[in-house]
Amino acid sequence: MDTNDFSGERQAFCDAYEDTLAFLEARQEADALSLNDLEGELYHLTVYEGQDWGGRGVLKNAEIQGQISAYIAVIDAVKNKKA
């Protein structure tokens, strides 16, 4: 991936997505997280996302969105694996 073509916001999203996805995959291999665990963590991450009353800025918001997207991708993969 050529990071020179991305805005700072897009880069923050992509970095957070890739890092969170790798983190969750490693945790899944080491500890076999349940769907309930993953959905609970996603819930708390979305609560954190909504607590932007002080204005955290576009880069932090993009980072949080990347993390949320990675959680959703892993949750979908776990659900599809069970189906």
Tell me, yes or no, whether 1 lies in a domain.
no
Q: Which domain holds residue 13?
A: 7-82
Q: What is the pLDDT, as a whole number, of residue 6? A: 64
- How many separate domains does the chain show? 1
Q: Where do we find the tokens 């996302």?
A: 49
Report the share of the chain in percent with pLDDT over 90. Answer: 63
Name the burial class of residue 63, with classes exposed (0-12), middle (13-18) and buried (19+) by CB atoms within 10 angstroms of its CB: buried
Q: Flag whether pLDDT at 76 surpasses 80.
A: yes
Q: Establish if 2 belongs to a structural domain.
A: no
- Residue 22 counted as domain residue: yes
- Provide the residue count of the chain: 83
Helices (H), 32-57: 35-50
Residue 1: pLDDT band (50, 70, 90) is very low
58 within some domain: yes
Q: Which two tokens stand for residue 9?
A: 């916001």
